[in-house]
Amino acid sequence: MRRTAESFGADAQRYDQARPGYPEGLVARIVAGSPGRDVLDVGCGTGIAARQFQAAGCTVLGVEPDARMADVAQARGLPVEVATFEAWEPAGRVFDTVVAAQSWHWVDPVAGAVKAARVLRPNGRLAIFGHVFEPPAEVAEPFAAAYRRVAPDSPFTSQPARRPLDVYQAGYASIADTIRETGQFSEPEQWRFDWERSYTRDEWLDLLPTTGALTRLRPEQLAEILGAVGQAIDTLGGRFTMRYTTLATSAVRAGTP
């Protein structure tokens, strides 16, 4: 699993430039609901979410298993320690907030929740969140058809072109169950933010290679998929609107300051 996670670092600069940020309302809610401004970003990647927390006045430390991703984050002003969260050594440090943006599925859910509780101050907040994106059918269907054609043995080929939102919501509900079972947090909350973003053909074709289904394809496989998707976007006039839903599971560590 770690090897798959680290495939995102193959083009870390593209990842940093193409991937979207997170709703400002989400960042503001996390900051407002935390006892202070010391944040630990688990699986920080290139620091996309971390920079938003820095802009909100927080001091952020990143933990990232892929040194290539960490290098980009550090070059943009984020202190990063290279390790998996499970292996990372806090050395007595504690935080007001632990966040995981689009990364918790790479963490052992039980060990991760227990460790988060250990490094949080009393009343500190754990916030796990990520995007669900829903391209229009005119873009999603050609992508799925091309992917099935060039990578028939991939586990991604069995997935529908547009995965129902409730599949992702069930995943965040499962995270809440695991947090609840530790007995170290308040009742987890589920948050949802709906938003849209317009993409040009080139913008979307720049982002697609950073997604999990494509990071490990051969260049000729990737080129065929991007060609099919590019043609589909051309039929829409070279631009389309992406519907995003950002889901979050958040809980406060039990205890008194």
Can you give the pLDDT at residue 87? Answer: 97
Q: What is the pLDDT of residues 7-53, one digit of tens each?
A: 555 678 999 999 999 999 999 999 999 999 999 999 999 999 999 99
Please say if the pLDDT value at position 115 is more than 90: yes
How many other CB atoms sit within 10 Å of the CB of residue 243?
14
64 DSSP β-pair partners = 82
pTM of the model: 0.92
Query: What sections of 153-245 are H helices per DSSP?
Result: 165-182, 201-207, 219-235
**What's the CA gap between 179 and 117, in Å, rounded?**
9
Instruction: Specify the pLDDT at position 4.
Output: 44
Average pLDDT over residues 96-105: 96
Band of pLDDT at residue 155, cut at 50, 70 and 90? confident
Span 99-125, average pLDDT: 96
The pLDDT assigned to 82 comes to 97
pLDDT of residue 2: 42
What percent of the chain shows pLDDT beyond 70? Answer: 94
Q: 184, 235 in Cβ contact below 8 A?
A: no
Mean pLDDT of 56-76: 97
Q: What is the pLDDT of residue 7?
A: 52
Query: Measured between alpha carbons, how far is 50 from 73 in angstroms, rounded to an integer?
Result: 9
Query: In which band, very low, low, confident or very high, does the pLDDT at 5 lie, cut at 50, 70 and 90?
Result: very low
Extended beta strands in 54-159, E state: 59-64, 80-82, 95-101, 120-134
Strands ordered across the beta sheet of 80-82: 80-82, 59-64, 38-42, 95-101, 120-134, 239-252, 189-200
Query: How remote is the C-alpha of 133 from its chain's centroid?
Result: 12
DSSP code for 253: B
Query: Who has greater pLDDT, 205 or 211?
Result: 205
